[in-house]
Amino acid sequence: MAKIIRGDRIGKLAVIRTGCSAIIFDDTRERILLTRRTDNGRWCLPGGGTDPGESLEETCIREVREETGLHVRVSKLIGVYSSPHFIVEYADGNRNQLVSVSFEAEVIGGELGLSDETTEFGYFTPDEIETMDLMEHHRDRIRDALAGQDKPFIR
């Protein structure tokens, strides 16, 4: 089970792990795709860690395909997130300080479905998302995407 641990410069107790998340809007741009994780049952944006030899754009495309079955094209950089004040601790004891980018991605094919990493999926409005058990660090990414700012956020 993955959990967030916060503290002043707690990132010193972890390894740096790069990755990304994808903001995928429905056709009306009123709802955002979320998935429910198998490891902790919480909702999140599709995404994950970068594999060696892979760009962040490639990570986004691969992770969305693996978790949802959708084929996407990265269309916009929403933000870069690298707070040293929180880490993710996994059930195996590994601790990661995340250096993540959040992209807006456009669906270009595939079929939305479940994977071994997801137990549910759905498109949700911002009001619905506010009431969901969502991974905390994904809330900022969603708010930033909804802000519609041209320049990427750096947090």
Which two tokens mark 144?
């930033």
Is residue 33 classed as helix, strand or coil in its secondary structure?
A: strand
**What ranges make up the beta strands (E) of the chain?**
3-6, 15-23, 32-37, 43-44, 47-49, 70-81, 86-89, 95-110, 118-124, 153-154
Residue among 30, 120, 128, 136 flagged as catalytic: 120
Cα–Cα distance, 18 to 86 (Å, whole number)? 14
**Contact predicate 61/69, CB 8 Å:** no
95-110 and 86-89 as β-strands: parallel, antiparallel, unpaired? antiparallel
136 is catalytic: no
Question: Looking at the annotation, which residues are catalytic?
Answer: 120
